[in-house]
Amino acid sequence: MYKVVLADDETIALEGLRTLTDWEELGFEVCGACENGEEALAAIIRSSPDLVITDIRMPEIDGLELIRRVRSLDMEQPIFIVLSGYGEFEYARTAIRYGVRHYLLKPVVDAEWDKVLTDITDELELRLKQTMQQSMLASRLLPLAIARMLEGHWAEPDEETAEQMDRLDEAAAGWTYVHVEGHSSNITELCRELAGPAGAMFIDLPGDQAGLVVESSSPAAGLAEELYAGLTRSGVKGSVSIGPSVRSLRELPVSYREAAGAAARHYFYSDGCGPVDSASEAEGQVNYTLPSAELIEEIISAVERLHEQKAAEKLGELFSVFRENRTDPGVVQMMGMDIMLRSMELLKEFGGADDQWIGMLDFFRTEPKSLEDLQITLETALGTSMNYIRQHKERNSEHPLIRVECFLREHYSEHLTVKEIAEHFYINPVYLGQAFIKKHGISILEYIHNLRIEAAKKRLIDTHDTVRSIVESVGYVHYHHFLREFEKRTALKPVQFRAQAQGR
């Protein structure tokens, strides 16, 4: 019987996990129902479960920290299902980085829950079958020991595994590591399929990576070609790289690091085009020389002066230098971050806020693999800075209509009349009304209605607030007045608009 640990700080949710499924019928024993991460960690260490189902937000330690700690333990790793009421991508991305493949949002859909449990049961049955077939022989333990070694959790293997390593080292001229990156399930299936015929040892690693260990006398290049062809057939965007030959299985981390590094550098510049041999990749060694500091200064100066074309040209010139010199990806990212931070400082001088940059800074935390993606992100960042600086200058310009527009965008939810607006800016109300219509083609009041309805549409899509609360928040006193203006612009009632926007 398999063992499962449940973790959720909400008593009702925890009880729901216990009763949602007939665990005994599925072949599971619930060996822990925990209300916080510390209890769950203790239960996992105590019972060594096959499956752990955990919420993200919990006291003591949260679900992601629980997974991280368990991943660092020297134990048979359980399968994790992460349940969360939070749909932010950052949580999912962190879970994936820890090797979690099952991330479900609350409330869980029955069909989705049943499918995940079926998949996990199949996976556990396959694990059990393989374990029983191999009877925990050295051939089963050896790939696991090597995987832990490559993950950086190396410890001297047990006596039986150590003897097996020594015997294999004596019989082989050396070993080569073939590194594969791509969607986890695809590369696992592909590596397992090719390992046997190639006489290779499959190494299962967490996350979207795996590998094959082959004797150095074997044609590693041919195997790499087969792996890459398999990825291409499956439509999987990934990479295959070959590490240098090493004499002993204990030296495989060297081959692994060289292969992974070569793949990263090659992919950064070419977006992949077949297997990469770390030996040939080393021939085109990356350059650690920094481009001219004047080029960075010219980019920032062009941004400050709102010279969009010059900023784009100088950024393109910088990335041309990167390509021509084959600058190390780490150096490129460092300089990209420098440009980003200097843009932030410039924007803050004009009253900007740090939260405008959160999404772009997250991009740097994911260590972008593509030079093209990095350039596009920086172009967007510089464009954001210039737009904000331009708006700031417009708001502080002497043209009264620009100041009126900024005022309306900031105060549309308040009770406003043309007369009050004109008095605020010391403008004749008749002149203001006529000038506004001449510029925008609509009256000031219609402009205010447009702003209010746009704000209401956004709230209807992004929140679960009631229609009446939205009506009040955007500045309407009477619901029927809002309804008339909303239907005039959308041809829908607010409830219909929300349902249509959310795909219901």
What lies within 8 Å, CB to CB, of 213 at 6+ separation is 146, 175, 176, 177, 178, 200, 201, 203, 249, 252
Query: Do residues 83 and 53 lie in contact, with contact meaning Cβ atoms separated by under 8 Å?
Result: yes
pLDDT at 70: 95
Residues 215-257: tens digit of each pLDDT: 887 778 889 889 988 888 888 777 888 999 999 988 999 999 8
Query: How far apart, in Å, are the Cα atoms of 302 and each of 112, 145, 180, 310, 321?
Result: 52, 55, 42, 6, 19
pLDDT at 133 over 50: no
| Residue 353 pLDDT grade (very low, low, confident, very high; cuts 50, 70, 90) | low
CA nearest to 55, candidates 91, 23, 93? 91
Q: For residue 144, which of 157, 163, 129 has the smallest C-alpha distance? A: 157
Report residue 224 as tokens.
Answer: 């790499």
The pLDDT confidence band at residue 366, using thresholds 50, 70 and 90, is low
Neighbours of 225 (CB within 10 A): 14
* Confidence band for 134, pLDDT divided at 50, 70 and 90: very low
d(CA 264, CA 377): 19
49, 3 contact by CB (below 8 A): yes
**What is the Cα gyration radius of the chain?**
30
366 or 41: which carries more pLDDT confidence?
41
In this structure, the number of other CB atoms found within 10 A of the CB of residue 238 comes to 22
What CATH number belongs to 400-501?
Answer: 1.10.10.60
pLDDT of residue 270: 61
pLDDT for residue 87 is more than 70: no
| Mean confidence (pLDDT) of the chain | 84
Print burial letters for 115-153: b (CB count within 10 Å at least 16), e (below 16): ebbeebbeebeeeeeeeeeeeeebeebbbebbbebbeee
Which of 271, 259, 251 is closest to 223 using CA atoms?
Answer: 259
* Bridging pattern class, strands 201-204 and 209-215: antiparallel
260: Cβ contacts below 8 Å, ≥ 6 apart: 179, 181, 209, 241
The CATH code of the domain at 2-132 is 3.40.50.2300
- Integer Cα distance of 60 and 74 in angstroms: 22
Going by pLDDT thresholds of 50, 70 and 90, the confidence category of residue 314 is very high
Contacts of residue 315, defined as CB under 8 A and 6 or more positions apart, other chains included, come to 299, 339, 375, 378, 379, 382
Which whole number is the average pLDDT over 144-156?
79
| pLDDT given at position 453 | 96
- Please say whether the structural domain 138-147+162-283 has been given the CATH code 3.30.70.270: yes
Domain ranges for the chain, please list them.
Answer: 2-132, 138-147+162-283, 293-389, 400-501
The model's pLDDT over 399-433, given as tens digits with 9 standing for 90+, comes to 678 788 888 999 999 998 999 998 888 888 888 89
Which has the higher per-residue pLDDT, 361 or 76?
Answer: 76
Q: Of the ranges 237-251, 253-267, 273-287, 450-464, which is most confident?
A: 450-464
Distance of CA 426 to the CA centre of its chain: 51
Whether 61 shows a pLDDT value over 50: the answer reads yes
As a whole number of angstroms, the distance between CA 162 and CA 168 comes to 10
What's the whole-number mean pLDDT along residues 2-10? Answer: 93
Mean pLDDT of 424-449: 89
- What mean pLDDT comes out for the span 23-31? 92
Q: Above 80 in pLDDT, residue 259?
A: yes
pTM over 0.85: no
| Pairwise CA distance, residues 232 & 183, whole Å | 12
Q: Residue 368: what pLDDT?
A: 54
Q: In the prediction, which pLDDT does 136 show?
A: 33
Does pLDDT of 138 surpass 50? no
Q: Is the pLDDT of residue 279 over 80?
A: no
Band of pLDDT at residue 504, cut at 50, 70 and 90: low
Q: Give the bridge partners for 241, in sequence order.
A: 179, 276
